[in-house]
Amino acid sequence: MTFFVRFSIRGISPERGLIKLHRQKISVYNVVKRDKDRLCFSVKRKEEKKVIAIFASSCYNIEKEPPQGWAKALHMLKERSGFLAGALCSFLAIALMQTLVLRVEVEGGGAREGEIRAILAENGVRVWRPYTADGAALSVEVLSVRDVSFCSVYKEGFVVYAKIGLRSAEGERAEAKPLLSDCDGVVESIVVLSGTPAVSVGDAVKAGDVLVLPQDEAGSAVPSARVSILCTAYGDYFELLLLTGGDHISLEREGDVWCARYRRIQSIYFS
């Protein structure tokens, strides 16, 4: 690609300027007469200095015109080379940082945190290293650690989180402690990971009723369950508002009293 430089010469009979260039065997392109005494033309970039030298000692005033088209773009890039380099560096840094790990957080690891961190490090999850591990595969590996019942490994920003659920010592002691209801209502849903459900969906329960028994068929001593109960309470508007904490399904007036329908979640060692 040939780059051109555009000049404008001013003087009496500027056509004579072209003769000067012709004598020096300089090719001129795109000659346009702008005024009676002004002529614009382009020359190849490599001949720019030569042209300036030819007209330096003559009666013509020569001016270099601002670049156009590709030359303009090139000129702009050259003028802003620092800015472009900075932008490029920022872009590369951001692209690189997206994969970098600046912190590894192990939540709920308890006494097993050291082992879990070692597994993560073995799989390449380290500070100042790119994150290339497969979260699901890593979770499976972490689950092989003793007492770990739940694991989720994921990256958020520059931080890798490992959320761990442990079969705690309290869990062992909870063998004789079933999950009890602390309110009157109807069972909306029940999820039991271990233990035996004592109620089923749609059952009406009262406060103190057993919802989940700790022992299951496999003989597991660690109950882990979550039960959602739909409750109804009557009373003063503000009392009900305090009771539900504003998190109610409905709160409406029924005759002289207010009636609140709300959901209670009862859980035990449920991750």
Partner 1 sequence: MRLFDLIASKTGADETLSGCVRYTVLDGKKAFFQNVKSISEYAPERLILCAKGCCLVVSGEKLSLVSYCDGDLVVAGNICAVERCAL
Q: Would you say 31 or 76 has its CB closer to partner 1?
A: 31
Q: Would you say 33 or 103 has its CB closer to partner 1?
A: 33
Contact (CB, 8 A) for 248 and 261: yes
19 binds partner 1 (CB under 8 A): yes
Q: Any residues with CB less than 8 A from the CB of 97 and at least 6 apart, and which? A: 158
Total residue count of the chain as it appears in this document: 271
28 binds partner 1 (CB under 8 A): yes
Candidates 3, 10, 11, 18: give the one binding partner 1 (CB under 8 A): 18
46 binds partner 1 (CB under 8 A): no
- Long-range pairs for 25-31: beta carbons < 8 A, 24 or more residues apart: 26/50, 26/51, 26/54, 29/4, 30/4, 30/6
Considering the complex, what minimum distance in angstroms separates the CB of residue 95 from partner 1? Answer: 46
15 binds partner 1 (CB under 8 A): yes
Q: Would you say 27 or 132 has its CB closer to partner 1?
A: 27
Rounded to an integer, what distance in angstroms lies between the CA atom of residue 249 and that of residue 266?
A: 17
Q: Would you say 34 or 72 has its CB closer to partner 1?
A: 34
Number of residues that bind partner 1 (CB under 8 A): 15
Radius of gyration for the chain, computed over Cα atoms and rounded to the nearest angstrom: 40
Candidates 32, 85, 87, 257: give the one binding partner 1 (CB under 8 A): 32
Candidates 6, 7, 8, 39: give the one binding partner 1 (CB under 8 A): 39
269 binds partner 1 (CB under 8 A): no
Rounded to an integer, what distance in angstroms lies between the CA atom of residue 157 and that of residue 98?
A: 7
69 binds partner 1 (CB under 8 A): no
Q: Any residues with CB less than 8 A from the CB of 260 and at least 6 apart, and which? A: 232, 233, 234, 235, 240, 241, 243, 244, 248, 250, 251
What's the angle, vertex CA 259, arms to CA 255 and CA 263, rounded to 5? 165
33 binds partner 1 (CB under 8 A): yes
What's the angle, vertex CA 38, arms to CA 57 and CA 60, rounded to 5? 10
> Looking only at residues 156 through 215 of this chain, which bind partner 1 when binding is defined by CB under 8 A?
none
65 binds partner 1 (CB under 8 A): no
Residue from 156, 152, 153 nearest 102 by CA:
156
25 binds partner 1 (CB under 8 A): yes
Query: What does the binding site for partner 1 look like in residue numbers (CB under 8 A)?
Result: 13, 15, 18-19, 22, 25, 27-33, 39, 41
